[in-house]
């Protein structure tokens, strides 16, 4: 994938998944600004923290300048993304987000998830996928 090859010698700002994460964090801030006052320090704050964590972990991992460290931080970003996706669903169920807004945020989150998985696979393609939430690893063969 072009993103993985671009990760060598580039900065975190060049990564499409970081750019998308930054846009999602901005949109989450806008969306949570309309939450009821009593939710600003509960669900709204949790959503903001999770959203901020996504591009922040990508940037920090990229700055570590080693693939194993980068992978670890990408996994952290992925965990924050899954947390945020859950919170988007809760906010929509509580009618703090319209269906349209929740769908838009969810679509952005899904795109980021695909980007994180692709980057993880490209960086860690030789290791079994069990550490990235995939099914059990395939046994090694001499074929």
Rounded to the nearest angstrom, the gap between the alpha carbon of residue 106 and the centroid of all alpha carbons in its chain is 11
Rounded to the nearest angstrom, the gap between the alpha carbon of residue 19 and the centroid of all alpha carbons in its chain is 11
102 with 89: CB under 8 angstroms? yes
End-to-end CA distance of the chain: 26
pTM for the structure as a whole: 0.80
Q: Three-class SS of residue 128?
A: coil
Q: Could you read off the pLDDT of 86-130 as tens digits, one per residue?
A: 999 999 999 999 999 999 999 999 999 999 999 999 987 645 455
Q: Is the pLDDT of residue 51 over 60?
A: yes
Quickly name the fold that domain 10-124 has: de novo design (two linked rop proteins) (1.20.1440)
Q: Three-class SS of residue 34?
A: coil
70 with 26: CB under 8 angstroms? no
């Amino acid at each position: 994938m072009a993103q993985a090859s671009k990760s060598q010698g580039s900065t975190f700002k060049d990564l499409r998944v970081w750019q998308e994460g930054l846009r999602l964090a901005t949109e989450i801030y806008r969306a949570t600004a309309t939450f009821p006052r009593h939710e600003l320090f509960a669900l709204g704050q949790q959503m903001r923290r999770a959203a901020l964590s996504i591009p922040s972990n990508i940037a920090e991992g990229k700055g570590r300048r080693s693939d194993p460290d980068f992978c670890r931080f990408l996994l952290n970003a992925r965990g924050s993304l899954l947390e945020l996706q859950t919170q988007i669903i809760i906010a929509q169920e509580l009618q703090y987000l319209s269906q349209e807004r929740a769908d838009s945020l969810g679509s952005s989150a899904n795109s980021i998830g695909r980007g994180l998985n692709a980057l993880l696979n490209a960086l860690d393609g030789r290791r079994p996928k069990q550490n990235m939430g995939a099914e059990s690893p395939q046994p090694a063969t001499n074929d």
